[in-house]
Amino acid sequence: MKKLYFGTNLKMYKNIRDTVDYLQKLVENTRDISREEIELFVIPSFTSLQSAAEQVDRRYVKLGAQNMCWEEQGQFTGEISPLMLQELGLDLVMIGHSERRHVFGETDIEENKKVLCALEHGFTTLLCVGETGEEKDYGISNEVLRTQLIVGFHGITPEQAKKLWVAYEPVWAIGVNGKPASVEYAEEKHQVIKACLRELFGAEIADEIPVLYGGSVSPGNACSLITQPSIDGLFTGRSAWQADPFNQLIRDAMAAAGRG
């Protein structure tokens, strides 16, 4: 049976101490869950990464960065190099979160450069995709998702694609003002994403790429989302930022999916 994926992006929240405390508690809470069954990952702030990497048992939780530059070094003030992230021994890099795209104006072509660079440096690479509310209203969600995937993964070989993960996060569903996608809508878009991945990399490799749902995941919808055939995991924000409720959400979702 395939693993279930559970992860969270801590965005611009939590200082170093709070991040380490949170991660250590999450490890304690979930230690008894077999990592053959789940992949658990957390993406903290850059300033917390070094302490987290040193003080957290990585057999239980993978650590990722929220963003990365496509160059190794140079005149890129304010950016973080893949070499800097390699120094920390991180597991994964997230590219193209909706806030990077829509608050900071990143384009699909930039995400593609970052994805290529992250893969070349050996990171598992999580590309986030998702349509805005306006794009949904115009009926072009599928086209937007396909564009983000086709451009975002341009030039990636099927061999490299074995290190890809995808998160589907409809922009209108994310954050305090978001409303969660219906389970039916999420499943339909996951099917669109999976079909596009098959076109790009062939079925054998594409079907191994986990596609996670994110955007107002909560204890109220986690179980019905995770039991959808095309949803491989949950990428959770607010509902995961305390270790106890996140642990409970994971266990409830696993039980709903007939695991554990």
- Round to whole Å and give the CA distance between 88 and 81: 11
Q: Which residue is nearest to ligand PGA (CB)?
A: 237
- Binding of residue 64 to ligand PGA (CB under 6 A): no
Q: What letter would DSSP give residue 51?
A: H
Q: Which is nearer to ligand PGA, 152 or 205 (CB)?
A: 152
Q: Which is nearer to ligand PGA, 160 or 224 (CB)?
A: 224
Report the DSSP beta bridge partners of residue 217: none
- Binding of residue 237 to ligand PGA (CB under 6 A): yes
Closest of 135, 159, 164 to residue 149, by C-alpha: 164
Q: Exactly one of 111, 169, 187, 232 binds ligand PGA (CB under 6 A); which one? A: 169
Report the first-to-last Cα separation within the chain, whole angstroms: 12
- Binding of residue 210 to ligand PGA (CB under 6 A): no
Q: Which stretch binds ligand PGA (CB under 6 A): 47-55, 59-67, 142-150, 170-178?
A: 170-178
Q: Exactly one of 35, 113, 154, 238 binds ligand PGA (CB under 6 A); which one? A: 238
- Binding of residue 90 to ligand PGA (CB under 6 A): no
Q: Please enumerate, as own/partner, the contacts of 22-29 that have beta carbons within 8 Å and a separation of 24 or more.
A: 22/241, 22/242, 22/243, 23/52, 23/55, 23/56, 23/61, 24/55, 24/56, 25/243, 25/244, 26/61, 26/243, 26/246, 26/247, 27/56, 27/57, 27/60, 27/61, 28/243, 29/243, 29/244, 29/246, 29/247
97 is catalytic: yes
- Binding of residue 96 to ligand PGA (CB under 6 A): no
Q: Exactly one of 115, 171, 174, 196 binds ligand PGA (CB under 6 A); which one? A: 174
Residues that bind ligand PGA (CB under 6 A): 9, 169, 174-175, 178, 214-217, 235-238
Q: Among all residues, which ones are annotated catalytic?
A: 97, 169
